[in-house]
Amino acid sequence: MTKYPEWIEEKDGSLWLTEYERENLKISYRLKEIIFSESSPFQHVMIVDTFDFGRALVLDGIVQTTALDGHIYNEMITHVPLCLHPNPKKVLIIGGGDCGAAREAAKYPHIERIDMVEIDELVVKACKAHLPEISGNLSDPRVHFIFDDGLRFVKDRRNEYDVVIVDSSDPIGPAEHLFERGFYEDLHRVLKDDGIMVCQSQSPIFHQNVLRNTASILKELFAFSKTYIATVPTYPGGLWSFTAGSKTYPLDRFPDRITPVETKYFNEEILKSCFSLPTFMKKFLPNG
């Protein structure tokens, strides 16, 4: 009998992946096949093919990104800060092992260097080989892969990057410290004097404490901070949040014209409207 990872179950001849969301919520995906399954020193890495979401990256049983809607998340975490900064040249991505954020950033010809600091080389290898819908088999010479802990990488650096994108997994396991105040202080120092950062700040429906805490810290540290949203069906609750901090540029002053790049979700109207928050979010957010 085949031994599957603990999140996979065979039932009536079908394979099911079950993501345990929270105490009273689990989400199951029916799978066509498991394409890749290996453990690294950091986590268990799987690429599966699902019936409804296409191929997906799964880390420790949690779905990270899917072929169906990974572009929504990756375009929003990348193009929003890159369009609000008037002249981004050097970009740091922390996490982002599926390569989707780096792929989006590399669409801008004026960006000179993209450093991608991912703790787990196995995620990058698996996504480049088996998730081309997201990674696009990224091989742009401006993208430099650094396999290290993002927390450690930013410790002794200062004044280096125009834009920092924190594309981390959930605040458990290796990404836990990427949601803490000390890390954001380091990011503030790593940014140039007019730098902008953005992080994924979890679900406004199910993770309000994480989002509120992130928004409070960025409000204290940065001259300008704002939360924006997008709908990503793969993530529990559907609605997802990103929180940006800017040292110099107000985040609600939009450029007259954005550099046109090919996207499936992001556009100028989305840039202008994504900072408009529903009333319930304005109520619990310090920057709402």
Extract the annotated binding site.
Answer: 43, 98, 118, 149-150, 167-170, 174
41: Cβ contacts below 8 Å, ≥ 6 apart: none
Does residue 203 interact with ligand SAM by CB under 6 A? no
Does residue 135 interact with ligand SAM by CB under 6 A? no
Binding-site member from 174, 195, 204, 236 for ligand SAM (CB under 6 A):
174
Does residue 151 interact with ligand SAM by CB under 6 A? yes
Does residue 217 interact with ligand SAM by CB under 6 A? no
Of 184, 211, 227, 239, the closest CA to residue 80 belongs to 227
Give dist(CA 172, CA 154) in Å, integer: 20
Does residue 241 interact with ligand SAM by CB under 6 A? no
Kindly state the helix (H) or strand (E) to which residue 241 belongs, with its residue range.
strand 239-246
Number of residues located near ligand SAM, criterion CB under 6 A:
24
Give dist(CA 261, CA 264) in Å, integer: 10
Binders of ligand SAM among residues 26 to 85 (CB under 6 A) are 57, 64-65, 73
Does residue 104 interact with ligand SAM by CB under 6 A? no
CB of 91 to ligand SAM, least distance (A): 15
Does residue 246 interact with ligand SAM by CB under 6 A? no
Give me the active site residues, please. 167
Task: Using the minimum distance from each CB to ligand SAM, give the nearer residue, 81 or 96.
Answer: 96
Sheet holding 143-147, edge to edge: 143-147, 113-118, 90-95, 161-167, 191-200, 239-246, 224-231
**7 close to 18: Cβ distance less than 8 angstroms:** yes
Q: How many residues does the chain have?
A: 288
CB of 11 to ligand SAM, least distance (A): 26
- Tell me how crowded residue 264 is: count the other CB atoms within 10 A of its CB: 10
Task: Using the minimum distance from each CB to ligand SAM, give the nearer residue, 124 or 251.
Answer: 124
Binding-site member from 169, 241, 243, 287 for ligand SAM (CB under 6 A):
169
Residue 128: CA atoms inside 13 Å, Cβ hemisphere, count? 13
Binding site for ligand SAM (CB under 6 A): 57, 64-65, 73, 94-98, 117-120, 123, 149-151, 167-169, 174-175, 178, 200
